[in-house]
């Protein structure tokens, strides 16, 4: 934070109007501090209000600036912590992947062999089911042919009896 220079404020009620009765020479100003007119008082009050308003806004901006600076500092610190943590985790992951490669490959092969064995078992099971369904279908066909032959024989017998 920079240092703030504080100047003289208008709270001392000094008039900024040159003395009318004095000399009006170039570079010579006498400042009047005696009786003020109502316009001068109003102007003085307005000036004081403007100065006070400025001071209040300046203090508000300074407080906002300090708050923002504090938040930015906290965010930078948080980012540094996160960055360090990520670096640490990346190094740990790298070590883990490097040292456990053979274990991962062994586990992958075992999983792959398990999948292949399951496929073989399902293939054999499916082959058995297909053979069973073929057997059943041939049995249905034999039964159908036998039933058709029987009905043909009954139809022939009935035709002979009617004739």
Whether 75 is in a domain gets the answer yes
Residue 66, pLDDT > 90, answer yes
Q: What pTM was estimated for this model as a whole? A: 0.35
Whether 35 is in a domain gets the answer no
Phi, psi of 10 (to 5 degrees): -80, 15
Q: With contact defined as beta carbons under 8 Å apart, do 14 and 43 qualify?
A: no
**Residue-range definition of the domain harbouring residue 85:** 41-96
pLDDT at site 89: 96
Same domain (yes/no): 45, 69 = yes
Residue 33, pLDDT > 60, answer no
Q: Give me the number of domains the chain comprises.
A: 2
Whether 51 is in a domain gets the answer yes
Same domain (yes/no): 53, 91 = yes
Whether 112 is in a domain gets the answer yes
What percent of the chain lies above the pLDDT cut of 90? 58
pLDDT per residue as tens digits for the range 104-134: 888 899 999 999 999 999 999 999 999 999 9
Domain boundary among 52, 68, 96: 96
* One-character DSSP codes across 24-90: --TT---B--S---HHHHHHHHHHHHHHHHHHHHHHHHHHHHHHHHHHHHHHHHHHHHHHHHHHHHH
CB < 8 Å & 24+ apart, contacts of 50-58: 51/9, 51/10, 51/11, 55/9
Residue 19, pLDDT > 60, answer no
Whether 61 is in a domain gets the answer yes
For range 37-55, the mean pLDDT: 90
The DSSP bridge partners found for residue 18 are 31
The highest-confidence range among 28-42, 75-89, 90-104, 137-151, by mean pLDDT, is: 75-89
């Amino acid at each position: 934070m920079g240092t703030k220079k504080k100047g003289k404020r208008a709270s001392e009620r000094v008039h900024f109007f040159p003395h009318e009765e004095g000399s009006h020479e170039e570079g010579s100003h006498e400042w009047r501090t005696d009786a003020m007119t109502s316009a001068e008082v109003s102007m003085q009050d307005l000036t004081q209000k403007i100065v006070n308003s400025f001071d209040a806004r300046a203090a508000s901006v300074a407080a906002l600036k300090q708050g923002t600076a504090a938040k930015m500092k906290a965010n930078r610190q948080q980012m540094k912590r996160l960055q360090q943590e990520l670096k640490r985790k990346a190094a740990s992951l790298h070590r883990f992947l490097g040292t456990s490669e053979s274990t991962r490959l062994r586990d992958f092969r075992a999983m792959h062999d398990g999948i292949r064995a399951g496929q073989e078992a399902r293939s054999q099971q499916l082959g058995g089911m297909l053979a069973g369904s073929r057997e059943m279908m041939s049995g249905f066909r034999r039964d159908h042919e036998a039933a058709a032959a029987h009905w043909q024989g009954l139809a022939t017998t009935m035709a002979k009896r009617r004739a």
